[in-house]
Structure 1
Amino acid sequence: MASEQLLAQLRFEEGLRLEAYQDSRDIKSIGYGHNLVTQPFFAGVRIPDRISTDLAEQVLLNDVLVTAYTLLQSWPLLANLDLPRRDACIQMAFQLGVHGFLGFSQLRIALGQQDWDKAYAEVLDSQAARECTNRWHRIAGQILHGVYYQVPALAKADIEHS
């Protein structure tokens, strides 16, 4: 349940950092936005403060699968959405946590009713959208139109930012 489009979007939006860093909420993170405070282990081993690109990719895939599974268990109507809209919800839950996404009760109602205009407005009427304007406009557009937004191809040298 991790489409290549969703993974590409998350790589673009999160960026790759191979050394641990403090994210915008002052949470120690690594790779593609992996939270080292709440999830310091991967495959039974503590994640070090410096990782390889391969490990970052493995952790990203695992994080997406866990997020998608947890979201589906908490909100079974996710399965009724087409793939672009489902992935938009998973991306929101990836950034906010599943509990954070579940706080969007009016969005979830609009999605269940296939009221894409209302769902679009609900995504944009949020603190997250005010903090990450461009990203959340892209997510909202994906929900409105049911089509994945495109991400630019990243050159190898551009993948890691500090």
Structure 2
Amino acid sequence: MAHALNLFVPILQDAESQKLLADIEANFATRDQPLIEKAARESQILHFLRVLITLDRKYFVVLTEYDGSHEEYAEFFRLNLPDLFKQIFTLANGPGSWDQVNNEKTFFEASKKLQIRSLGNSVYDEKDPWGQTDGYLFHAYGPRTVKQILPLLK
């Protein structure tokens, strides 16, 4: 059953942070994207993933749809993409430095604080990281997981 991650990381607006943001933008396709692609494929829980920076350059945004528990999802990507998350938390205005959040519990708690709930209500009664009814997420394949869908595509 898929859950949505709508992670909005507020970006520090100082010159050093904006320089790091420009570096991420310039090198994303060649440096970060291949690492994300590899981790996403190996996870076998990720339906979709996209990364963007808002037009006003105030938020670094990660949008995904994934299967399984919120905690396992966060931990998988913390362990498999530490360099990317270090960059993101270096830019972040709020949740703490990478050194402060780079452990299972605090990373999950920080990601929860940056999560923005989708409007509406889950039609499958999925729960959000706080145990409340998740926001609306359309499911073209019903409650099927990535692990159930992939073999059907072969």
TM-score normalized with structure 1 length = 0.29
Decide which structure has greater strand share.
Answer: 2
Decide which structure has greater helix share.
Answer: 1
Q: Relative contact order (alpha carbons < 8 A, sep ≥ 6): 1 or 2 greater?
A: 2
